Structure 1
Amino acid sequence: MLPDPNSLYGPLDPAPEAGYENAPPRMGFFTDTSVCIGCKACEVACKEWNGVPESGLDLLGMSYDNTGALTANSWRHVAFIEQPRPAGHDAAPADVLAAPADVLGAPVDADPTRPVDAGPQFLGMPGAQPPGRGTGVEERTDFRWLMMSDVCKHCTHAACLDVCPTGSLFRTEFGTVVVQEDICNGCGYCISACPYGVIDQRKDDGRAWKCTLCYDRLGAGMTPACAQACPTESIQYGPLDELRERAAARVATLHDRGVPEARLYGHDPNDGVGGDGAFFLLLDEPEVYGLPPDPIVTTRDLPKMWKRAGLAALAMVAATVAAFVGGSS
C-alpha cells in the first residue's frame, strides 16, 4: 500500500507504522566523516559477516578506492575524495578532527594547554608527511582527502518498499529495511525507486542486495559488524534519537573549534524522505560526496498518478458508452 502523500514529510516512527506493536527504539547509524581514516575495516567486516562476495582489486584510478560505489557486492563503500583545502582550514586547531571520545562516542573538549599535534589534521597524499615532522619527504598541504563510509540510508519513507511486488523488501521491528533475497524475483523496481542509488543487482543471479544493518546481529543485541570494526568510532550505532543528539553536539563542537563547514545530512525527520536511519556528518556539500542535496521519496506522486489514470479510464469508458448508445439510436 502506498503512503499518504500528505504525510510523507512529517516525523514518523516506521516500525509501529509497519504494524509492530511494542517495537523497540529505532536503531541506526551516525557516520562522522570528520574522523574517518579510510582504513576500510568496515568494508571488510561487512563482507566477512554477511558473506558478501569480493569486489575485486581494481583501484579505479581513484586513490585507494577499490570498490568505487555501493553495489550488490559492496554494502559499505569508503569514498576517497581529493580536493583543495578550503580557505582558512589550516587555521583550525590540529586536534579538531580527532578529538578524544568519551564512552558514548561524543567528543570531549581537548586540553587547550596540550601541545598541538599536526598529525590528526593532515589528510595529504600517502607517503607525504605532516608539516614539521622533519622526515625529508616532500610535504603536501595544498589539498586534503575527504573520506566517508557510505551505506544504505534505511529511509523513514522508503520508496523501495512501495514498489516491491513480492514483499521481498520489508520493514523490521528496528525501523530498518531488509531484502529477503530468497523471494526476490529480480524485477529491479527497487533499484530505480531508491533516491540514493543504493540497491543493486548481482550479475550472476539478478537479485537485489544491500545493507541489512546486520539484522541478525541486531536481533541478538549485537552491534553491526561495520560499527564494531571501526577503529575511530566514525561509524556509531545506537537508538536513532540518541545518535541525533550526539551528532548535533559534535557539529556544535566542530563549529566552536573553527570548522564551520561541518554539517549533518539525513538527520532531519522533515526532509524529503522523512529522515534517514543512517545519517552523516559531512565537511562539505552533499554533492561532493555523491549524495543528492534534496532527496525525495520517488513514489510520492504515485497515488495522485493512479487517481488521475483511474479518472481518465472512467472518462474513456463513459465516452465509449456514449458513442455506442448514440450510434445505435
Structure 2
Amino acid sequence: MTHEHSFYGPLADPAGDAGHRDHPPRMGFFTDTSVCIGCKACEVACKEWNEVPEDGLDLLGMSFDNTGMLGASSWRHVAFIEQEATLGRQDAGLSTLPTGPSGTVVADGTVSQALPEAARGGADLGTAPVHLGFPSFDLPGAGSGAESRTSFRWLMSSDVCKHCTHAGCLDVCPTGALFRTEFGSVVVQQDICNGCGYCVSGCPYGVIDRRPDDGRAFKCTLCYDRLRGDMEPACAQACPTKSIQFGPLDELRDRAALRLEQLHEAGVGEARLYGHDPDDGVGGDGAFFLLLDDPEVYGLPPDPVVPTRHLPEMWGYAGVAASALLAAATAVFVGGGRR
C-alpha cells in the first residue's frame, strides 16, 4: 500500500504508517458536549464491557463528578462544570437543530428519528427545566421555567483518550506494549506492559495512567474487540443523546463542521471544535470535541504538543554528534600512533 504522508496534515495515515495494508477507514469519536446530559451511561458501559474496576464513589466536592479525571480505572470521565454565566440563546431557538435527542445529524444535514416539537421543547443543549418532585428551597435554577435560571449554566462533557495521530505514548514505550491498530487507534497490551511509566509522561493530555496494584498502564482501547466484531464502542452505543458519535473520522469531521455552523447561526458563538485540526501539535485527534467554552474550562490543554514531536530531528542531531565524536577519537588515535 502506498500513500502520501504528512504527520501534521490531512493526508496522515497512522494505520498505514504502522504497517497495516488495505486497512479500514480510520475510526474515532466526535463528542458533542452541547447535548451531553451528564447521565454517565458512557462511564458505566465502558466499565461493564471492558471490566474496568470500580474507582471510588467520592463526589470530590464537584457536584456529581465522582471520577475527577481520566485514569487507569476511569477510561471515560464525565465532567460537570457549573458556571456563573448566562444561558444566552441556549434555551430558545435551538430546538430546530437536528442533533442529540431530537435526531441524529448526518453529513448532508438530514435528520433521522426526529421527535415532535412539543416533546423536544428547548432541550437540545440540556437546559430544559426538570421538575424533581420536591421543594426547591430557593436553590439556584429551581424555578419552573427557563426564565428563572439565566444566571448559571452547566457544561458537561465525556472525556476519553484522544488516540492521537502522533501518539507520544506509543513513541516512548520500550517493550512494544502499545501498538497502533488497523483502525488507527492506540491500544495497550497489558500482558506485555512492564509498568515503566514512560507512556504516562509521553501523553500530552494526561490520559494514560498506571494502576497502583501492579503498576501496569491502562486506557481506552476504542473497544478494539468490539470493532473487530463490527460493533461500535460500548460508550457510544449507550449514549442516549448521541453526544458521543462514532464512525469514520473523515465523516465525523464533516458532521462536526455542520453542527458547529448550526450552533453559530443559532447564536451560540462560543461553540468551537477541539482536536479536529490535523495541523495541531499532535497531528489531530482520533477523538475530538465540540466545546461551549475554552478547553481549559474542561481540563483540556489549549495547545497540546506531543513531547516526541521533534524526536526524529533529535536522533539526527545525536547521530551527527556521535559521528563527530567518533571522527575526533579516530584522529586522536591515528595521530598518537604516528607519534
Q: TM-score, normalising length from structure 1?
A: 0.87
Partner of 1:46 in structure 2? 46
- Could you tell me which residue of structure 2 aligns to residue 183 of structure 1? 192
Matched, 1:10 2:12: no
Do residues 33 (structure 1) and 42 (structure 2) align?
no
> Equivalent residue of 2:214, what SS?
coil
Secondary structure of the structure 2 residue equivalent to 1:78: strand
Alignment of 1:233-244 (within 5 A): 233-244=242-253
- Report which stretch shifted further, 99-108 or 301-310: 99-108
Query: Aligned pairs, how many?
Result: 322
Is the 1:71–1:200 contact (alpha carbons within 8 Å) kept by the matching residues of 2?
Answer: yes
Q: Which residue of 2 aligns with 1:3?
A: none
The aligned counterpart of 1:248 is 257
Partner of 2:57: 57
CA distance in 1, matches of 2:219, 2:68: 15
* Partner SS state of residue 70, structure 2: coil
C-alpha change, 1:93 and 1:103, in structure 2 (3 Å) is closer
Q: Give how far 1:35 is off.
A: 0.4
d(CA) in 2 for partners of 1:238, 1:249: 16
Query: TM-score normalized by structure 2?
Result: 0.84
Letter in 2 for 1:76: R
Q: Distance in 1 between matches of 2:128 and 2:89?
A: 12
Give the drift of 1:300. 1.5
Tell me the C-alpha RMSD between the 2 structures. Answer: 3.2
Kindly report which structure 2 residues correspond to 1:90-101, keeping only aligned pairs within 5 A, or say none.
Answer: 92-93=92-93, 95=95, 100-101=102-103
Compute the displacement of 1:123 (Å). Answer: 7.9
Describe the shift of the 1:116–1:30 C-alpha distance in structure 2 as closer, same or farther (beyond 3 A): closer
The change in CA–CA distance for 1:273 and 1:123 in structure 2 (over 3 A counts) is farther
- CA 1:197/1:108 → structure 2, altered by over 3 Å: closer, same or farther? same
1:59-208 to structure 2, matched below 5 A, reads: 59-86=59-86, 88-89=88-89, 92-93=92-93, 95=95, 100-102=102-104, 104=106, 108=111, 117=121, 122=127, 128=139, 133=144, 140-208=149-217
Paired residues of 2:101 and 2:240 also in contact (CA < 8 A): no
**Structure 1 residue 167 displacement after superposition:** 1.0
Identity in percent: 68
CA shift at 1:102, angstroms? 3.6
2:103 maps to a residue whose letter is A
Do residues 269 (structure 1) and 271 (structure 2) align?
no
Give unmatched runs, 5+ long, in structure 1. Answer: 1-5
Shift of 1:114: 6.4
Change (3 A) 1:116 1:93: farther
Measured in 1, the distance between the counterparts of 2:175 and 2:198 equals 11
* Segment of structure 1 superposing worse, 87-96 or 276-285: 87-96
Q: CA deviation at 1:306?
A: 2.1
Change (3 A) 1:261 1:112: farther
Taking the aligned partners of 2:258 and 2:189, their CA distance within structure 1 comes to: 37
In the TM superposition, residue 319 of structure 1 has moved relative to its aligned partner by: 3.5
Shift of 1:118: 5.3
